Amino acid sequence: MATNQAQAAIKIVPEIQPVEGYNMDLHDRFEIWREISGDSVNQVARKLSRSAGAVSQYINFKYSGDIAGLEKDIRNLMVRKEDLRTVNPETFLALSASKKLWEGMQFCKEQKKMGAAIAPAGSSKTRTGVAFTKKNPGTIFVTADITKRSLSAILSMIAYRENCTAYGVKNNELLDRIVENLKWKQDLLIIDEAHLLSWEGFEAIRTIYDQAKTGIFYLGMPHLYSQMKGKKGYLWDQILSRLAIKISITSVTRDDIVLLADAICPGLPKNCIDFLYEQALEPGRLRVVSGLLDRLRYVSKSEKIPANLQLLKEIIKF
C-alpha cells in the first residue's frame, strides 16, 4: 500500500460529473495530456486526423457525432504519444518503477542536479512525470517527438511553460530569457522522450542547467544512454559528466500486478494474477497488462460473468 504522503501526491485532477456518452476518465486524461504537451487544438486535431471544431466540441462536452469513435482515436493517440494509460492514478504511483522515478525527480529538484531515467515504452515514465508536475507546480514538463526535437522547438516549449514570449525571438535571446526566468528557482525541468532531442537541444538544456542552476531530469528509451556511450561519445562528455543520477527500469514486480489488478479489476483469483505477471515480464509490457485488465473488466461487466482465467485467455487472443 502507498504511504499517506504518496497518496496525497497523486491526487492529480478533481472529479468531474459524468456527461452522457462520454468516457469521463479518458476525457480527464486527455485534458491533462493537452495541458502538459502544450499542443493547440489545431495541432491535436491534425494528430487525430479530425477537424479542430470536432476536437473543440469534444473538449467542451458539445460533440454530437460518434463520441465512441473519436474517443478511440484519442486513446490511441495518447498511448502512442504520451503513454497515458487507463490506470487509476492513486495506484499507479505505488508501482515500483514509479517510486524509483519519483524519487529521482525529487532528488534532482531538491539538489538542483541533472538525472536521467532509462526505460522501455510502457514503463510509467510519462505518467509519473505528469503526476510529479501536478504535485510540484514549479516543475516544467515538455515532451520531444519527431516534430518537436529541434533547438527552436524545445526552447519554445520551455518558454511557453515559463510564460516567456517566444514569437519572433531568436534562439539565443530566447535561451537567455529562459535562463533568467529559471535562475535560482527551486524548480525542475523534465524532458520526456529525451532520446528524440537533437544535439543542439541537449546543448541548450545543458546551458539552462549550468546558468540557471535548476534541476534537470531526462526521461527516455534505452537509446538515450547508449548513444551517449557510443562511437561519438566524446560529444556527450559534457552531458555525461553532469549526470548525478541514472535510473534504469528493467522489470515489473508481482506486487505491481497485484496493485494494478486491485485498481482496475478487483477480486481476481491468484491464477489470473500469475498469468498477468507472466505477460508483464518482457520490457514495456506493463502497458499491455493494463489494457488486458481494462478489457477483462469491461467484458466481465457487460457479459455479467465473473472475471476468471479462461475469460482472460480468451481476451488475450484478440
Residue 187: domain span: 95-248
Give yes or no: residues 314 and 172 share one domain. no
pLDDT single digits (tens) 63-92: 988 999 998 888 877 765 544 333 344 445
Per-residue three-class SS string for 41-96: HHHHHHHHCCCHHHHHHHHCCCCCCCHHHHHHHHHHHHHHHCCCCCCCHHHHCCCH
d(CA 279, CA 297): 17
Give yes or no: residues 241 and 209 share one domain. yes
Per-residue burial over 259-280, b if 16 or more Cβ lie within 10 Å, else e, is: bbbbbbbeebeeebbebbbebb
Give yes or no: residues 66 and 163 share one domain. no
pLDDT single digits (tens) 259-286: 888 888 888 999 999 999 988 887 667 7
d(CA 285, CA 52): 33
Give yes or no: residues 296 and 243 share one domain. no
Mean pLDDT for 289-316 is 87
d(CA 295, CA 182): 44
Give yes or no: residues 63 and 122 share one domain. no
Give yes or no: residues 218 and 127 share one domain. yes
pLDDT single digits (tens) 216-262: 999 988 767 666 665 455 566 777 788 899 998 888 889 889 988 88
pLDDT score recorded for residue 82: 42
Q: Is the pTM of this model over 0.85?
A: no
Instruction: Output the CA angle 135-218-246, nearest 5 degrees.
Output: 105
pLDDT single digits (tens) 8-37: 333 333 344 556 788 877 787 787 667 666
User: In which band, very low, low, confident or very high, does the pLDDT at 205 lie, cut at 50, 70 and 90?
Assistant: very high
pLDDT score recorded for residue 167: 62
194 close to 219: Cβ distance less than 8 angstroms: yes
Per the structure, the count of domains in the chain is 3
Q: Is 139 within a domain?
A: yes
CA distances to 42, 167, 206 from 164, in Å = 22, 9, 19
226 close to 177: Cβ distance less than 8 angstroms: no
C-alpha cell, 195: 532520446
Give yes or no: residues 26 and 135 share one domain. no
Give yes or no: residues 157 and 285 share one domain. no
Q: Could you tell me the sign of the dihedral formed by the alpha carbons of 48, 67, 317, 125, in that order?
A: positive
Give yes or no: residues 44 and 170 share one domain. no
Give yes or no: residues 270 and 148 share one domain. no
Question: Where a domain ends, among 248, 263, 292?
Answer: 248
Query: Is the per-residue pLDDT at 56 higher than 70?
Result: yes
pLDDT score recorded for residue 214: 92
C-alpha cell, 264: 482496475
Give yes or no: residues 188 and 233 share one domain. yes
pLDDT single digits (tens) 88-123: 444 455 688 888 999 999 999 999 999 999 887 777
d(CA 95, CA 124): 9
Biggest alpha carbon–alpha carbon distance for the chain: 63
19 close to 59: Cβ distance less than 8 angstroms: no
